[in-house]
Amino acid sequence: MKNLQSFADLGLSSRILEIIHRKGFEAPSPIQEKVIPLVLQSNMDIIGQAQTGTGKTAAFGLPIMDILQDNSKSVNVLVLTPTRELCIQVAEELHSLKGKKKFKILPVYGGQSMELQLRHLKQGVDIVVGTPGRILDHLNRKSLKVDRLDFCVLDEADEMLNMGFLEDIEKILDFTNSDKRTLLFSATMPKEIVKVASKYMHRYEHVRVQNEEMTVPQTDQIYFQVSEENKFEALCRIMDIEDGFYGIVFCRTRLDADRIAHRLLDRGYDADSLHGELVQSQREKVMGRFKNKLINVLVATDVAARGLDVSDLTHVINYALPQDPDAYIHRIGRTGRAGKEGTAVTFITPEEENKLEFIGRKTKSTIRREKLPKIRDIIRAKKKRIHTDVQELIESELAHDLLPMAEKLLAENQPEQVLAALLKLAFAEELDRGSYNEIRDVQPVISGKTRLFIARGQKDKMTPKKIIHFIRDRVKIQPDKIQDILIQPEFSFITVPFREAELILKQFNTGKSGRKSLVEKARPK
């Protein structure tokens, strides 16, 4: 892989490096590599363009936390995010990056109690993370002042555009001081956003992380949809159903790698972890043990696995999605080499379906969805393996020394009884269904359904009932097909089966270009 930059090369202070270390991040993502030095070492405004999941929050959060003084009386940083979920997520991520500094970080979004927000704002806040509607409310009421900002961050700008927030954003920017720095992040760069940028930003640097088209090696690629808490159980099942599993489990941080390796050890697997924290001699020891198959599962971070040259893996498991298509290729390229077959397995949570689809598209690969092996299938596979092993032992005559004991047992019992008792003695634990935890299938809940975004909310007097009318006025569908209705101040969400979603989208999508349609497929968080 091309970049081997470390966070320390980017100009961050040792205080921030320590925070990064504690978070378990090992190396900067490509967008972080480009944005962090620019924020620290220049005075420029920045447009950062990269796909979701590439670490854009830390790309601006880390350098801002490094620069920011904690002795100010006014709001220094305003971050605008499109949705309440992202608002909370960004506020939390920023919180995790502030270390011991006494920055007050406040998420401000519609739907949350106004009273509470007013109280917090009055007490003084350093960083406000908010959704446009509610921020504008506060600015109009003068409960929030943004005329002494150091930074204004427009996060997920294209999403904000999609949701019709552009006007609000312009109004908000009109409230801000012109000598602030503006950082704009977006996955795509529609012309409306470029317009806002040229109107409201000073000389800016446009950095982007390209997503080149890539080709993948011949590897069977499958994925499982599994909730975060069931991933570990899923991993065990995959390892157990295989004959001679020999693989790397990729996760995001050093802490994850250690945690998963420990859990595997606890469950009796020959596992170890490989991450950037190990000193060279430890690294070599772990890698040596893995190469010599003394351990058959290695839990690693992307960075740490770079130096590892093993080629005959049966499996690469993406316990967490890689940060970008590039990393995906790099990970799975370790299987299926030299004519040997390998399987790349990816775990995704239901919300990550679109990210995986993006990776599949960019890498031009087919990633097949499969169902996790059931406990009874694993037990069956294990029994078959025991059978083969016993057969081999008989043929090799390696158990000859125990024949006198066998004869004695047989003289006293029926042969089936003896064998069953021996199998029990040897494999009871291995063949116990109870050593597996149930995994609730997440499929039925989401499969076959689509989440739709509707550009009408409380401010349009929408209620769940009215949303149903709103849809059924235009499309003939059963009211009970509309589920999980969520009404927000400015917009709403509903969930409907695929077929109904198609009908609705067709009806509401007039195809007039430039016009924002009222109903759209909801974007993943």
Q: Which residues bind ligand ADP (CB under 6 A)?
A: 25, 28-29, 32, 52-58, 93, 252-253
- The option from Mg ion, ligand ADP, none interacting with 53 (CB < 5 to 8 A, set by class) reads ligand ADP
As measured in angstroms, the least distance from the Cβ of 302 to ligand ADP is: 8
Minimum CB separation of residue 156 from Mg ion in Å reads 6
**Partner from ligand ADP, Mg ion, none binding residue 252, C-beta < 5-8 Å depending on class:** ligand ADP
Nearer to ligand ADP, 28 or 107 (CB): 28
| Residues linked to residue 300 through DSSP beta bridges, in sequence order | 250, 274
- 125/321 with CB nearer ligand ADP: 321
Residue nearest to Mg ion (CB): 56
Q: What's the closest the beta carbon of residue 94 comes to Mg ion, in angstroms?
A: 11
Residue 58 interacting entry, from ligand ADP, Mg ion, none, C-beta within 5 to 8 Å by type: ligand ADP
Identify what 471 binds: ligand ADP, Mg ion, none; CB under 5 to 8 Å per kind. none
Helix axis angle, 84-97 relative to 14-23, nearest 10°?
A: 120
Comparison of 32 and 83: residue with beta carbon closer to ligand ADP: 32
Residue 411: CB atoms within 10 A of its CB come to: 7
- Specify the residue, 58 or 271, whose C-beta has the smaller distance to ligand ADP: 58
Q: CA-to-CA distance for 156 and 185, rounded, in angstroms?
A: 5
Dihedral angle over CA of 491, 493, 496, 501, nearest 10? 40
Q: How far is the CB of 56 from Mg ion (least distance, A)?
A: 5
Residues 189 and 49 sit within 8 Å (Cβ to Cβ): yes
Q: Is 515 exposed, middle or buried (0-12, 13-18, 19+ CB in 10 A)?
A: exposed
Report the nearest approach of Mg ion to the CB of residue 155 (Å).
6
Torsion of CA 344, 347, 352, 353, to 10 degrees: 60
When the beta carbons of 56 and 180 are compared against Mg ion, the nearer one is 56
Nearer CB in complex with Mg ion: 56/315: 56
SS3 404: helix
User: What minimum distance in Å lies between the beta carbon of 34 and Mg ion?
Assistant: 16
Please report, to the nearest 10 degrees, the dihedral formed by the alpha carbons of residues 206, 9, 248, 335 taken in order. 60
Residue number with CB closer to Mg ion (86 or 135) = 86
454: amino acid identity, one letter? I
> Nearest approach, Cβ of 84 to ligand ADP (angstroms)?
15
Task: Tell me whether strands 449-454 and 492-497 are parallel, antiparallel or unpaired.
Answer: antiparallel
3-class state of residue 443 by DSSP: helix
State the binding partner of 25 from Mg ion, ligand ADP, none, CB within 5 to 8 A by kind: ligand ADP
